Amino acid sequence: MKGKTVVVTGGTSGIGKVAAEKLAKMGARIVLIARDKPRAEATLALLRQAAPDLAHTAHYADLSRISEMKQAASAIAAQEPRIDVLLNNAGALFGARRTSEDGLELTFALNHMSYFVVTELLLNRLAFSAPARIINTSSRAHQGARLDFDDLQMTKRYGAMRAYCRSKLCNILFTRELAGRIEGTGVTVNCLHPGFVATRFADEAGGLISSFAGVAKLLAISPEDGADTIVYLASSPEAAGVSGQYFYKRRSVSPSAAALDRKAALELWKRSAALSGLDH
pLDDT 10s digits, 80-111: 999 999 999 999 999 999 999 999 999 999 99
| Chain mean pLDDT for the chain | 93
Kindly write down the DSSP assignment for every residue of the chain, as one continuous string: -TT-EEEEES-SSHHHHHHHHHHHHTT-EEEEEES-HHHHHHHHHHHHHHSTTS--EEEE--TTSHHHHHHHHHHHHHH-S---EEEE------SS--B-TTS-BHHHIIIIIHHHHHHHHHHHHHHHT-SEEEEEE--GGGTT----TTSTT-SSS--HHHHHHHHHHHHHHHHHHHHHHTTTTTEEEEEEE--SB-SSTTTTS-HHHHHHHHHHGGGPBPHHHHTHHHHHHHH-GGGTT--S-EEETTEEE---TGGG-HHHHHHHHHHHHHHHT---
pLDDT at residue 223 in the model: 84
Catalytic residue among 115, 164, 232, 246: 164
Asked if residue 200 has pLDDT above 60, the reply is no
Q: Which CATH class is domain 5-276?
A: alpha beta
Domain assignments of the chain as residue spans, ordered by start: 5-276
Neighbours of 232 (CB within 10 A): 18
60 included as an active-site residue: no
- pLDDT tens string 129-144: 999 999 999 999 999 9
User: Can you give the pLDDT at residue 209?
Assistant: 52
Per residue in 216-242, pLDDT (tens digit) is 444 567 889 889 999 999 999 999 999
| Tens digit of each residue's pLDDT (9 = 90 or more) over 37-70 | 999 999 999 999 999 999 999 999 999 999 999 9
The answer to whether the predicted template modeling score (pTM) of the entire model surpasses 0.85 is yes
Confidence of residue 213 (pLDDT cuts 50, 70, 90): very low
